[in-house]
Amino acid sequence: MSVDSIKVTVWNEYRHERKDPNVAKVYPEGMHKAIATYLGKQLDLDVRTATLDEPEHGLTDDVLAHTDVLIWWGHMAHEEVSDVVVERVYQRILGGMGLIVLHSGHFSKIFKKLMGTTCNLKWREVGEKEKLWVVEPGHPIARGLGPYIEIESTEMYGERFDVPQPDTLVFISWFEGGEIFRSGLCYYRGKGKIFYFRPGHETYPIFYQGEVLKVISNAVRWAAPIDGLKITFGNVKPLERIRK
């Protein structure tokens, strides 16, 4: 592993897969493993996983200190994520760590805290078709894609998605049942970069689909921290002479 590799931690709630045989059939080792397996094959990425039921949810100070980009999937247990860990992750993001929030992670504590809004939306689970259209084709997160990604069968998320207008909007989804959704959203927050990506319901094999995984790996590279300036806040002396 190169010294310059991007350190990725794939975090998963990892409950559905252990409780629901239908989900277990699709993701026997959890969605985090499916994602981590793909990312782990990329030479520039150094990948580990963490899950809710590990001590400190697997997100200790040490793990976060060695994480450049955190990927987040949660759904049924958002409220079980401790406020202490949320605050720790939040501080790391404002300090430069990238965050990729997947699908039902829209309702996670960390995403809501960063957005400052309810992050609410419409949804329906009937296994309909989705097309994610690329609307900003020069953006690095669209690298290597065709004009759209088709997902054969998925849960629907519909607008109004109650989030701030993104700094850059990369994907918009079409759903068979009549809705649309802003489904690839880039945000600068603090020194960190955040990407929300809609696909990925637990009962569909979406995290095995090549284009979805490609987007996640593109997003990891986009969200990686830069050797950024140390920002100072607070009381400062004048840089120039004040005339009075």
54, 56, 94, 208: residue in contact with a copy of itself (rule CB under 8 A): 94
Question: Closest separation between CB of residue 65 and a copy of itself, Å?
Answer: 18
What minimum distance in Å lies between the beta carbon of 219 and a copy of itself? 13
**Binding flag, residue 28, a copy of itself (CB under 8 A):** no
Among 115, 185, 216, 220, binds a copy of itself (CB under 8 A): 115
For the chain, give the number of residues: 244
Q: Is 210 in the site for a copy of itself (CB under 8 A)?
A: no
CA distances from 222 to 118, 135, 172 (A): 26, 17, 19
Binding mask 212-231 vs a copy of itself (x if CB under 8 A, - otherwise)?
A: -------------xxxxx-x
DSSP conformational letter for 217 = H
CA 9 to chain CA centroid, Å, is 11
Cβ 34 to a copy of itself shortest distance, Å? 25
Binding residue for a copy of itself, selected from 18, 28, 160, 210, defined by CB under 8 A: 160
The answer to whether 119 and 157 have CB atoms below 8 angstroms apart is: no
Strands 45-51 and 6-12: parallel
Classified as helix, coil or strand, 151 is strand
| Interactions with a copy of itself, residue window 162-201 (CB under 8 A) | 162, 164-165, 167-169, 172-180, 182, 187-193
For the segment 130-149, give every residue that binds a copy of itself (CB under 8 A).
131, 133-140, 142-147
Q: What is the DSSP letter of 8?
A: E
By DSSP bridging, strand 122-134 and strand 69-73 are unpaired
